[in-house]
Structure 1
Amino acid sequence: MIPKQRLKDWIPPHLMRWGRKLTGRSLRFVGRPQTWQHAMEMSTGYMEGSILDRVADATRLVNAGKAVFERDGVVFHSLDYSYPLLACLLHAAAGNNGELDVVDFGGALGSTYRQCRPFFAGLEQVRWSVIEQPNFVDLGRREFETAELTFYSHASQLPVAASSRRVLLLSSVLQYIENPLEMLRELTQLSWSHVIIDRTPVSDHPMHRLCVQEVPPNIYKASYPCWILAKDRLLGALSEGWTPMCEFPCHDGQWETDDGLEFEFRGFLFLPKSQHS
């Protein structure tokens, strides 16, 4: 039998999108709200308790060994690693004497940590700090926190460390921030060894596009504002202090809005320009 991921590699993206729509399992990116407030009014939001409950239930299944990993509250029973992301993380550890210290903005209950953890077995030390909304932090601390995995509601709460060796991970988060590039510039003013942007929708259009992302009921019933970022503007936001080392595709694949704007989920690795001067 051909693995599902290999099938996805062979099927043209437009056929994949069409198939997802027919089965009702497709995300939808709809509308053209002119402001973030307008987009919020068109959405149910992502503060609903049902989303936290779904992610928590999925995480419990992973911890109990009944699923391999979870992503966005959906459990998976077969391996589906993001090897480009793993390469970025292990590159950071290799430059820090085998120690990996990650600050994972919007990291839910540690989804990415658990998915990547098997590849960290040979490292000297792993520290993974998740920055999340207070309801996620409260539950994370009660049920899922370990010596390696910790939860905080703000970066200012992080323990004092050699921040210049920390990795900033922004996975599937920038698109859900009202002012994503402003936040990105603020975060990257801090001292990091690597900045990894992962699972972020970008297009070749010169302007960002604001829409509403609708999640199908088989995942969880919700909708929320979502940016499709102009790739050139995203890269330009880091051009002064950071050097792009690589760009990579993400499992989320290629999509289009309800009015035909094509975009793709991509990942990027940046290093401080001071390391290359």
Structure 2
Amino acid sequence: MEKIAPEVYDRIDNDLYNAKGDLWWNPENVLHILKTSVNPWRVGIARDVFRKLGFDPKGKKALEVGSGGGILTEEIYGMGFETTGIEPAEESIRTASEHAKAMGLDIRYEQGTGEHLPYADASFDCVFCCDVLEHVSDLPRVISEIARVLKPGGIFIYDTLNRTFVSKIVAIKIWQEWKRWAFMPPNLHVWEMFIKPEELKVLLAQSGLEWKEHRGSEANVSIPKMLGYLRKRARGEWTFVELGQNFRLVESKDMNVLYAGYAIKKS
């Protein structure tokens, strides 16, 4: 997989993350759904990976690439890591820093991109990159940089969207475009930037990262019920709070839309 063509990358609305106001911790905003409905799935997988590997996060150093407003970063910190988050959007960093300070959490936030991580080689025991890889302009470079800052034997944990017919219907049409159900802003995601698992495996291998496994996801309710929930929100009958209270992702073998995985940096 090559660097994203400029005409494709220009279609994605990454400027959203620089919008004024708290897009992340305010439960009335769409991005808070990531905390209530997606984090339990991705954090659960991370904790299971650590148990499987016999890896104790306490005292280890972790980096989150694309940390946004800190809704996953704070969970990483809660695992026991000495935690750093890096994010290109200044407003998101401000939100994350203010929330961490208010909560008394010693998290370091810095502005920067995954393509140019401002850290020395072998700086971190674990790197997280979740809901981010499908947003970057140069995916091979980001993977290479993540591998560079990982210590030998370090763990890379990620999740991203698969480029399938199903993901075009679900993540683009239903989530963003079809007004009957849409709850995300237009162009929050661009389907051509989604990543097939086999493509990601190749990039991992090229950067000296040994792929270990992928896991899928699905809604905790049936598809008709999920569409009903989205319809209620679109009509104004439900807020994002109510949507988040009733919908969450659970682990599944289905990798047609959102999937997670991990890899180990070769010694």
Question: Would you say same fold, with TM above 0.5?
Answer: yes
Aligned-partner Cα distance in 2 for 1:197–1:188: 13
Q: Which amino acid aligns with 1:38?
A: E
The question of 1:195 aligning with 2:136 is answered: no
- Aligned residue for 1:101? 61
Q: Which amino acid aligns with 2:137?
A: E
The question of 1:55 aligning with 2:21 is answered: no
For the residue of structure 1 that corresponds to 2:98, the secondary structure is helix
Contact 1:105 1:130 in 2 (8 A): yes
Please identify, of 73-82 and 169-178, the stretch whose mean Cα deviation from structure 2 is larger: 73-82
CA offsets per residue over residues 136-159 of structure 1, 9 Å max, x none?
11232233244432211137556x
CA offsets per residue over residues 195-248 of structure 1, 9 Å max, x none?
1122x122479xxx9xx9575487453424531213222101121412222221
- Alpha carbons of 1:228 and 1:41: their partners in 2 closer, same or farther (altered >3 Å)? closer
- Aligned residue for 1:237? 203
2:185 aligns with one of 221, 228, 237 = 221
For the residue of structure 2 that corresponds to 1:271, the secondary structure is strand
- Alpha carbons of 1:97 and 1:46: their partners in 2 closer, same or farther (altered >3 Å)? closer
- Aligned residue for 1:37? 6
- Aligned residue for 1:73? 32
Give the alignment's TM-score, normalised by structure 2. 0.61
Residue 103 of structure 1 deviates from its aligned partner by: 0.5
Q: Which amino acid aligns with 1:76?
A: T
- Aligned residue for 2:233? none
- Aligned residue for 2:109? 151
Aligned-partner Cα distance in 2 for 1:175–1:80: 20
- Alpha carbons of 1:268 and 1:81: their partners in 2 closer, same or farther (altered >3 Å)? closer
- Aligned residue for 1:129? 84
Aligned-partner Cα distance in 2 for 1:141–1:224: 23
The question of 1:141 aligning with 2:97 is answered: yes
For the residue of structure 1 that corresponds to 2:260, the secondary structure is strand
Contact 1:46 1:222 in 2 (8 A): no
Aligned-partner Cα distance in 2 for 1:180–1:79: 23
Q: Which amino acid aligns with 2:98?
A: R
- Alpha carbons of 1:80 and 1:171: their partners in 2 closer, same or farther (altered >3 Å)? closer
Aligned-partner Cα distance in 2 for 1:73–1:181: 29
Contact 1:40 1:224 in 2 (8 A): no
Aligned pairs for 1:242-257 (under 5 A) are: 242-251=209-218
- Alpha carbons of 1:239 and 1:162: their partners in 2 closer, same or farther (altered >3 Å)? closer
For the residue of structure 2 that corresponds to 1:99, the secondary structure is coil
Aligned-partner Cα distance in 2 for 1:41–1:191: 30
Aligned-partner Cα distance in 1 for 2:81–2:214: 24
Aligned-partner Cα distance in 2 for 1:78–1:233: 23
**Structure 1 unaligned residues grouped into runs of 5+:** 1-34, 62-69, 256-261
- Aligned residue for 1:183? 142
CA offsets per residue over residues 147-199 of structure 1, 9 Å max, x none?
432211137556x8972x5211110101011121232123212333111122x
- Alpha carbons of 1:202 and 1:181: their partners in 2 closer, same or farther (altered >3 Å)? farther
Aligned-partner Cα distance in 1 for 2:30–2:75: 9
Aligned-partner Cα distance in 2 for 1:77–1:213: 18
Residue 46 of structure 1 deviates from its aligned partner by: 2.8
Aligned length: 208
RMSD: 4.0
- Alpha carbons of 1:247 and 1:57: their partners in 2 closer, same or farther (altered >3 Å)? same
Aligned-partner Cα distance in 2 for 1:270–1:71: 30
- Aligned residue for 2:261? 268
Q: What percentage of residue pairs aligned between the two structures are identical?
A: 9
Aligned-partner Cα distance in 1 for 2:263–2:49: 10
- Aligned residue for 2:49? 88
Contact 2:122 2:149 in 1 (8 A): no
Deviating beyond 6 angstroms after TM superposition, the runs of 4 or more aligned structure 1 residues are none
- Alpha carbons of 1:172 and 1:77: their partners in 2 closer, same or farther (altered >3 Å)? closer
Contact 1:203 1:228 in 2 (8 A): yes
- Aligned residue for 2:240? none
Please identify, of 232-241 and 72-81, the stretch whose mean Cα deviation from structure 2 is larger: 72-81
